[in-house]
Amino acid sequence: MQQNLYDKFTVTHSPLTDTRPAAVSVADQLTSYVLGKLQPGMRLPSEADLAERYGVSRVTMREAVKMLAGRGLLDVARGRRAIVRQPDGSVFGDFLTSLIKSDSKHLFDLIQVRRSLEIQSATMAARHASRAGIMAAEAALARMRAAAQDARRGGEDAAAQMRFHQADADFHEALALASGNRVLSYLFEGMALPFRESFHVSLRGQQMRGLSLEDSVAAHAHILACISNGDVKGAGEAMSKLLDDAERNIRMAYSPASLS
């Protein structure tokens, strides 16, 4: 969270001059404890215990716990003790989402960022994807195909469209996992969030360009085929084409005159 005005790097060293709010310094200590001694899935002591342990009131302790939850380190729910969370991309996703909400221009910047990361992901996956990794991507591809058929048959089936988008995101996340780079997969997981909110826009652009979900499935299948064959260059180029297409879809929906 980088508690705003209280820069931990310049202050924390000398506890005697630590003028930060107690909640902040307790949060820092708790962070070290969680990251250092605990494993994902483990339960923390209760707020009351922690409060006593750190010598603060429960209100203050609660704030510290909430800060860690805000950084995605803990799962907190009513009635049960907090649980150490497995790292994931949701914090990054929320960051991107509010960025785009504050200025929609950021969406196009993000598309460009995503493009180069996806190309790297596909390239690396083609280089050293495992059998299991490819099977996971194939499963996601199958879900995309099924959702595409449902959406076609059901007309404006919003649920099927949502399933399609989810399977699409799963596919790209599977490739990132197959690339062996976990940070990359966290970033994709996070990017899926803001794209989910604009995916109906993308869909509209796709239809305006006379393309169907099945076309998208075929493009994804081609990428996976390249990866499966170890065709590094082909995988990168195919992914590049796919992302160019996705960008055209969104731009088309925003300003139909600007692009093919």
Residues 6+ apart with CB under 8 A from 231: 126
149 contacts which partner out of DNA, a copy of itself, none, CB within 5 to 8 A by kind? none
Task: Report the nearest approach of DNA to the CB of residue 83 (Å).
Answer: 9
Q: Which stretch binds a copy of itself (CB under 8 A): 115-123, 127-135, 205-213, 248-256?
A: 115-123
CB count within 10 Å of CB 151 equals: 22
Q: Does 128 bind a copy of itself (CB under 8 A)?
A: no
Q: Which stretch binds a copy of itself (CB under 8 A): 95-103, 125-133, 216-224, 245-253?
A: 95-103
90 contacts which partner out of a copy of itself, DNA, none, CB within 5 to 8 A by kind? a copy of itself
Q: How far is residue 144 from each of residues 38, 178, 217, 232, measured CA to CA in Å?
A: 38, 18, 7, 24
Measured CA to CA, the distance from residue 11 to residue 119 in angstroms comes to: 41
Which residues make up the interface to DNA (CB under 7 A)?
19, 21-24, 44, 46-49, 55-60, 62-63, 76-82
Q: Which residues of 116-130 are buried (b: 16+ CB within 10 A; e: fewer)?
A: ebbbbbbbbbbeebe
Identified binder of a copy of itself from the candidate list 31, 206, 216, 249, rule CB under 8 A? 31
The token pair that represents 192 in the structure block: 């899926």
The count of C-alpha atoms lying within 13 angstroms of the C-alpha of 121, restricted to the half-sphere facing its C-beta, is: 28
Task: Report the nearest approach of DNA to the CB of residue 29 (Å).
Answer: 13
- Rounded (10°) CA dihedral 129, 163, 104, 185: -20
**64, containing H or E segment:** helix 58-70
191 contacts which partner out of DNA, a copy of itself, none, CB within 5 to 8 A by kind? none
Q: Which residues bind a copy of itself (CB under 8 A)?
A: 1-5, 9, 21, 31, 35-36, 59, 62-63, 66-67, 69-78, 85, 87, 90-96, 98-99, 101-102, 105-106, 109-110, 112-113, 115-117, 119-120, 124, 181-184, 186-187, 193, 196
